[in-house]
Amino acid sequence: MLEFKNISKEFGPVKALSNINFRVEKGEIVGLVGENGAGKSTLMKIIFGAYQADSGTILIDGRQTRFTSPRDAMANGIGMVFQEQSLIGNLSIMENIFLGREHEFRKFGLLNFQKMESAAQQQLSKVGLKVDPRMQTFDLSFAQRQLVELAKVLTLEERTSRDLVILLDEPTSVLSEDEVELLFNLVNNLRSRAAFIFVSHRLDEVISISDRVYVLKDGEMVDEVSAQDADPAKIQSKMVGREIESGYYKQDERETYNEKETILSLKNVSKENSFESVSFDLHQSEVVCLVGTEGSGREAVLRCIFGMNNPDKGQIIYFQNDKIKIRSPFEAVNNGVGYMPRERKIEGIFASMNIAENITSSQMEKYSRYGFLHLTSEQDLARDWVDRLSIKTPSISTDCGRLSGGNQQKVVLAKWRSSGAELMMLDHPTRGLDIGAKQDVYSMIREMSASGVGLIVVPDTFEEAIGLAHTIFVMKDGACVKRFAPDKERVMPIDLVAAMT
């Protein structure tokens, strides 16, 4: 009854989705799986009307429609239960359920809360939640809030004559096993009221609840299987299986690292709500990749090493020197630790500063005397690095905001390379870059590794991890659960997925 045909979406040069075909039948539960960045959220947002497809058609019961906004989509019976819950904590449950539609309870210009309460009660009974609708939402547990959210979406039943399709975005990510089971029972019971699209990275759950499973990969729909004959191993290989031309990750330039020279040592490091008891060593010239799902704590580990957050427990030893204590980025930079953040535009680059200014931003002491900047040596440095990394720019005094993403990333790398950082944290260094720029970043990682820098990388994809790393640590729910050594043994993406889920 709901069908998407040949849907494509581009963000600048990045193809997020190409020619997606997707349909949902009445009362059906459809699973949608794919690794991080495969295009799941983009597809969800198109279904829910938050994004508009660049091309393709949307059919409801065979008739062509268009959603220009979530409001439109809702009017057509499509609702969404958000992963980041969309309820407002300081409003009551009933106010949340009827948010934006209070006028339905207006009487002489005043709100009739009694009527709202009984209406809310009715919605809550659909999801079997027995709480007082006048309760403040932040007093509920996470699972309860999710049910309220579902109840809110189910109000669409009364609002449209259409059949409902409800999107569930990673609904189980923070639920306990019992709660997951309750949710699944509920969803099954609601089949008569609505069809569901279930998005998750937990493959076993998706297979157990869905009738059909779609597999998304690099913005393309690579498989569609019915749940009866779904084979988790096969789906996993479809999720990650990518023919890589040899040398894409400059594997031949991966040299052996120096196992005798430890430059970073984590001993049972914990940070509340992020990760727990993480221990590993990083050696000279070694590239370590941290692999895991969103929220597995990988990024938080990097930030703790760089001093942006401080660990609650455990010990981090830098360069085998007990005396080095890093509690802030300032101390990290002074001790030769560099960090390339994930949000390049917000944390990585100074958009309104030129290349020279960006490169020296972490090492102004070196390019100044008595507080006076040494502008000519700074410009020489910038010129040198623009040449070395072949940064494409009209001049070294061009503002970095006007460079392409790949060239911005090169500027950030030039900053840390030129300041002599011996320990680098790279958080999604190739995110949003085209293939050519990605290769440039890989070359730079190799070059740093060859010159003795130890690197910890949070990669974008499994292939990237396997191609780049000497050592891979798989993180799951804040713990390091498995170690792989792709420089010595053959590691397949599927091995990583198996360890993650």
Partner 1 sequence: MKQNFKNLLKSNFNWVTLFALVLFVGFVDPNFWRPSSMLILLGDIVPLFVMALGLTFAIYIGGIDLSAQSMANMITVIASVYLASLGMWIVPACILTGAVLGACSGIITTRFLVPSFISTLAIGMVCYSLAQWLSGNRALYMNAEKRDALFGWMLSSTGIIPNTIFVGAGVFIFVLVIERKFVLGRRLKAVGSAELAAAASGIKVARVKVLAFALSGGLAALAGVIFSIKLSGGAPSIANGFLLPAIVAVLVGGTPLTGGVGGVVNTLVGTMIVAVIRASMLYLEVDATHQQMVFGLILITAIVFTIDRSKLTIVK
Contact residues for partner 1, defined by CB under 8 A: 306, 308, 328-334, 339, 341, 343, 346-353, 357, 360-362, 364-365, 368, 371-373, 375, 415
CB of 58: closest distance to partner 1 in angstroms?
29
Q: How far is CA 321 from CA 126, 159, 345, in A?
A: 61, 66, 34
Instruction: For partner 1, give the closer residue by CB, 365 or 477.
Output: 365
Name the residue nearer to partner 1 (CB basis): 22 or 339: 339
Rounded Cα distance, 313 and 71, in Å: 47
**The pair of three-digit structure tokens given for residue 145, joined into one six-digit string:** 């809030």
Q: How far is the CB of 352 from partner 1 (least distance, A)?
A: 4
CB of 396 to partner 1, least distance (A): 15
> In angstroms, what is the C-alpha Rg of the chain?
26
The letter for the amino acid at 191 is R
Q: Is 417 helix (H, G, I), strand (E, B) or coil?
A: helix
* Nearest distance in Å: CB 302, partner 1: 11
> In the chain, how long is the greatest CA-to-CA distance?
80
Measured CA to CA, the distance from residue 66 to residue 131 in angstroms comes to: 38
Q: How far is the CB of 363 from partner 1 (least distance, A)?
A: 9
Closest to partner 1 by CB, 134 or 325: 325
Closer residue to partner 1, CB minimum distance, 271 or 344: 344
Contact (Cβ atoms closer than 8 angstroms) between residue 198 and residue 209: yes
- Angle at 53 (CA atoms; ends 49, 55), nearest 5 degrees: 145
The residue to which tokens 């390339």 are assigned: 340
The least CB distance from residue 382 to partner 1, in Å, is: 14
Residue 179 near residue 210, CB atoms below 8 Å: no
Q: Name residue 417's amino acid.
A: R
Which CB sits closer to partner 1, 328 or 451? 328
Q: Nearer to partner 1 by C-beta: 248 or 350?
A: 350
CA–CA–CA angle 193, 207, 83 (5° rounding): 65
Least spacing, CB of residue 418 vs partner 1, in Å = 12
Q: What one-character DSSP code corresponds to residue 347?
A: I
Task: In angstroms, give the least distance from the CB of 55 to partner 1.
Answer: 27
The answer to whether the CB of 497 falls within 8 A of the CB of 236 is yes
**CA dihedral in degrees (355, 358, 363, 368; nearest 10)?**
60
Which one, 97 or 332, has the nearer CB to partner 1?
Answer: 332
Query: In the complex, what is the shortest distance from the CB of residue 48 to partner 1, in angstroms, rounded to a whole number?
Result: 21
Helix, strand, or coil (residue 128): coil
Q: Under a CB-based contact definition with an 8 Å cutoff, are residues 150 and 166 in contact?
A: yes
Q: Is 314 left (phi over 0), alpha (psi -120 to 50) or beta?
A: left
Nearer to partner 1 by Cβ, of 83 and 358: the residue is 358
State in angstroms the smallest separation of the CB of 288 from partner 1: 20
Rounded Cα–Cα distance for residues 477 and 493 (Å): 19
Closer Cβ to partner 1, 93 or 412, answer by number: 412
* Helix (DSSP H) and strand (DSSP E) numbers for the chain: 17, 23
**228 vs 376, which CB is nearer to partner 1?**
376
